[in-house]
Amino acid sequence: MSEHLSPRVNSARLPNFVGKTVRLPCKVISFNGPSAKVQASDGGEVTVVLGAGMDIQDTFVEIVGTVTDPTTIKTMACINMGDKLDLKLTNDTIEMMYDPRFTKIFF
């Protein structure tokens, strides 16, 4: 079952998930050919390698993909999340998920 997990992360947690599938709620900053630069919920910048036909329409998205190195994700899917996502609240929630008091609930 654990091979099907895709935990939500921020940029600070990416190094712990190299080679794993994650979900990164983020704000799109810019596009550069087949990749995009995004701001994770903790303010860190992440490079997202986009797959063919990826349709990023909104300011805020959730990237589902494989962490290839501590600052890069290869996208498998993109979920458009509108233009009003509270990144601070999102980051607080992500950090609570990794708090030892709550990890059994989420993992």
Domain of 70, in residue numbers: 2-82
How many domains, in total, are found in the chain? 1
Q: Is 94 inside any structural domain?
A: no
How confident is the prediction along the chain (107 residues), in pLDDT tens digits per residue? 456 789 999 999 999 999 999 999 999 999 998 999 999 999 999 999 998 888 889 999 999 999 999 999 999 999 999 999 999 999 999 999 999 898 888 77
Report the C-alpha gap between 69 and 88 in whole angstroms: 24
Distance CA(21)–CA(55), nearest Å, equals: 20
CATH code of the domain covering residue 68: 2.40.50.140
Angle at 26 between CA 24 and CA 32, to 5 degrees: 100
Rg (CA), the chain: 13
Query: Does residue 15 lie in a domain region?
Result: yes
Tell me how far the alpha carbon of residue 42 is from its chain's centroid: 11
DSSP state letter for 43: S
46 touches 38 (CB < 8 A): yes
In a domain, 43, yes or no: yes
